[in-house]
Structure 1
Amino acid sequence: MPLKTARRAGGRTGPRKFTGRDLAVIGVLLGIPILIDLVLIWGPTLASIGLSFTSWDGIGDIKWVGTDNYQALFNDYPPFWPAVRNNLLWLAFLGLVATPFGLLLAVLIDRGVRFSRFYQSTIYMPVVLSLAIVGFIAQLVFSRDQGALNAVLGNKDNPVDWLGDPDLNIWMVLIAAAWRHTGYVMILYLAGLKSVDASLKEAAAIDGAGEVQTFFRIVLPTLRPVNVIVLVITVIEALRAFDIVYAINHGRNGLELLSVLVTDNIIGEASRIGFGSAVAVVLLTVSLGFIVTYLVQELRGEKKG
């Protein structure tokens, strides 16, 4: 139909103008989530940053103390550095052990092994459990007197205290957390592998590339968006860990974490809200440091590519 005829018939060209009703709907659909995000996320975050420079017990007057909370945290608070070490250990273990293992499982299942649906469902099943439930399961497995592991090993006369020994319990908890994290990573990478163009693999095979070379030079670079998601999730899972250690021994005796210190100081008997907020700010800074650094590198890599 000619353009003039289309215009006479009522056809429109150019961008459509939003009516008042459209703008109202868009405002509601965007405004409510943004408002909820500001109230529940950024509001408490900014409040914690401000309170970290004060001394407050939640009832009396708020007293400005400057950087005293941070100085006491770094120099005069014994649980702080063990908690930092444990959080970094969580990050290293999930990032260097659980995440690659989840990627390996995704690759094996994507190749179409027998009973792949069964393996996929079984490995993913722990993901639906909360870390608190995983902590209770860890107690059933690693308990000193009635644990399944000591029963299997036959250590009845001299059972190993897997969760009571501070040299062992952190590793047992990491294994339990990795059990859950691996399934999450596997599903993410499996979805990414399904979207990889098969012609790229075929072209690499024609050029003489082996399976390992094809994966690292062709497949893995195409999974860059999934890598970003997995890294962010891994950092968040490692640094926000709380439920599992609190379910086992309230985050003490070798299982100290920054999230536990935040809870103990803010809602514990001490009620040191300013000091607990300082711990929370340190945890936020560490989290953003890892995530922002990686995202900047990824964005630079995309621009160069």
Structure 2
Amino acid sequence: MPSAIPRRARRRGPRRFTRRDLLVTGVLLGLPILLDLAVIWGPTLASVGLSFTSWDGIGDIEWVGGRNYHDLFTDYPPFWPAARNNLLWLAFLGLIATPFGLLLAVLLDRGVRFSRFYQSTLYMPVVLSLAIVGFIAQLILSRDQGALNAVLARDNPVDWLGDPDLNIWMILLAAGWRHTGYVMILYLAGLKSVDPSLKEAAAIDGAGARQTFFRVVLPTLRPVNVIVGVITVIEALRAFDIVYAVNQGRNGLELLSVLVTDNIIGEAARIGFGSAIAVVLLVVSLGFIVAYLVQEMRQGKVPGGDRETRRGKVPGKAQEKGEEERR
């Protein structure tokens, strides 16, 4: 009796890839990997190697060991102010701009009137580069022709961008204006995906709006928190164009990225020394990101209450009501 099973169904074992399949797979995977190695990891490893040398970009490369790092930490005055400004940048974006973006997302998620207009207005700075934001800051904060001093109409106008005690805060406000809209959109997307039944169960248990947010909604936003945290660290440590557009990163606006550019591309052309600064910036960035991700992964595995919240199991009155309905 002939078998009713089709010949194609009787075949067993893994499907063999044809030469065309292997070629397409190799092209689709190989080109991005090669591009990543050439653009990202190639220059990174080259910077690490050059940081132990003395080279002006033209002559011979001279091996100097750790002398660049020793000079950087002990005999290079702009380094520590730049490092302090980078940490201040990170603290401002992480502790002020990011929570403010979360607050705006929560308010818009509640369905206020003209929410579409507010979303578009608050997100508009994100489409601008930080260099453009820097030019806008100059138009507003310039000492002689700035809009802010024109509105204040003072006899002795304030030099918002020229005073080293003020300009870093003004630039931080401009950068935070752009960062807030980005964070708001990310959190708004996360809030739209929160299960409404969790909020209803918490309300039945007698939880207020604040308790519901911090104990139910915020734990479910952990994946968004990871993304926002990493983006905040990257934005703070790679900041360059906004301060360079204002005053080329000098007079109180020094950043590590500006020092890298000044030493590698500037008149000195100390490529080895500039590479050492770049390696320090790389290590600091990786340190913050790895520590943050490890902490988030550990928090994701504890405690039992969070797991119950994710599964929608909220004990108390909500559970009792569910049992009564089943009866």
TM-score using structure 2 length: 0.89
SS state at 1:270 partner: coil
The one of 233, 236, 246 equivalent to 1:235 is: 233
CA distance, structure 2, for counterparts of residue 303 and residue 36 of structure 1: 36
- Give the letter for the 1:58 counterpart: G
Q: Which runs of 5+ in 1 are unaligned?
A: none
SS state at 2:260 partner: helix
CA distance, structure 2, for counterparts of residue 107 and residue 19 of structure 1: 52
Aligned ranges 1:212-291 → 2 under 5 Å: 212-291=210-289
| Rg larger for | 2
- Give the letter for the 1:223 counterpart: L
Aligned to 1:181: 179
- Give the letter for the 1:277 counterpart: S
- Give the letter for the 1:158 counterpart: N
CA distance, structure 1, for counterparts of residue 261 and residue 254 of structure 2: 12
- Give the letter for the 2:128 counterpart: L
CA distance, structure 2, for counterparts of residue 234 and residue 74 of structure 1: 26
CA distance, structure 2, for counterparts of residue 28 and residue 220 of structure 1: 42
Aligned to 1:149: 148
Aligned to 1:160: 158
Alpha-carbon displacement from aligned partner over 1:265-286 (angstroms, at most 9, x marks no partner): 0000000000000000010011
For the aligned residues, what is the CA RMSD?
1.3
CA distance, structure 2, for counterparts of residue 270 and residue 242 of structure 1: 20
Alpha-carbon displacement from aligned partner over 1:27-84 (angstroms, at most 9, x marks no partner): 2111111110100000000000000000000000100001100010001000000000
CA distance, structure 1, for counterparts of residue 208 and residue 7 of structure 2: 61
CA distance, structure 2, for counterparts of residue 289 and residue 154 of structure 1: 47
CA distance, structure 2, for counterparts of residue 19 and residue 190 of structure 1: 45
CA distance, structure 1, for counterparts of residue 13 and residue 90 of structure 2: 51
Do structure 1's residue 92 and structure 2's residue 86 form an aligned pair?
no
Alpha-carbon displacement from aligned partner over 1:134-160 (angstroms, at most 9, x marks no partner): 0000000110011111111122x1000
CA distance, structure 2, for counterparts of residue 304 and residue 107 of structure 1: 26
Alpha-carbon displacement from aligned partner over 1:191-242 (angstroms, at most 9, x marks no partner): 1111111111111111111111111111111111111111111111101100
CA distance, structure 2, for counterparts of residue 30 and residue 219 of structure 1: 38
Aligned to 1:127: 126
The one of 196, 199, 202 equivalent to 1:201 is: 199
CA distance, structure 1, for counterparts of residue 121 and residue 12 of structure 2: 54
Aligned to 1:296: 294
Aligned to 2:47: 48
Alpha-carbon displacement from aligned partner over 1:122-179 (angstroms, at most 9, x marks no partner): 0000000000000000000110011111111122x10000000000000000000000
CA distance, structure 1, for counterparts of residue 200 and residue 7 of structure 2: 51
Aligned to 2:112: 113
CA distance, structure 1, for counterparts of residue 204 and residue 13 of structure 2: 48
Deviation of 1:302 (Å): 2.2
SS state at 2:165 partner: coil
Q: Which runs of 5+ in 2 are unaligned?
A: 304-327
Deviation of 1:14 (Å): 6.4
- Give the letter for the 2:252 counterpart: G
CA distance, structure 2, for counterparts of residue 162 and residue 300 of structure 1: 44
CA distance, structure 2, for counterparts of residue 58 and residue 179 of structure 1: 39
Deviation of 1:19 (Å): 2.9
TM-score using structure 1 length: 0.96
CA distance, structure 2, for counterparts of residue 216 and residue 22 of structure 1: 50
- Give the letter for the 2:246 counterpart: I
SS state at 1:8 partner: coil
Deviation of 1:10 (Å): 2.7
Aligned to 2:319: none
Deviation of 1:301 (Å): 1.9
Q: How many aligned residue pairs are there?
A: 300
Aligned to 1:102: 101
Identical aligned pairs, as a percentage?
83
